[in-house]
Amino acid sequence: MSLESCELIDLPKIQDPRGNLTFVEGHNHIPFDIKRVFYLYDVPGGAERAGHALKTCHQLLIAMSGSFDVILYDGREKKRFHLNRSYYGLHIPPMIWREIDNFSSGSVCLALASELYNSDDYYRDYHGFLRALTQEQM
């Protein structure tokens, strides 16, 4: 995978004077079925989250409240995305290293995942991730 396969997805937004509504449907708005949902909140100022890559799992990250930055690395280049709208999602396919930082006060990061949690699906060591990329390219 490369950073070219990572994309911001504009999610449906139904505007109403009583409040807006956004929804996400697997294989309709995003390229995978949703098997797991989790969220990050109460992240202390200056803290970083993530710091891993996934072997097979796709994810969509959404800033439900506040804002944060997602830094992606595919082994060749890095790209930073600033998420601050609840109707945009960042699709991250497998084998992309991700870090999340610059959380604003009160921010909530929603993650939709294509797989159930499996600790064996994670590269938590950056150098191990780079070695796996090199082996994949051989």
Instruction: Indicate which residues carry an active-site annotation.
Output: 52
Comparing CA positions, the residue from 77, 48, 70, 55 lying closest to residue 128 is 55
User: 5 φ, ψ to 5°?
Assistant: -85, -5
Write the secondary structure of 15-76 as one string of H (helix), E (strand) and C (coil): CCCCCCEECCCECCCECCCCCEEEEEECCCCCCCEEEEEECCCCEEEEEEECCEEEEEECCC
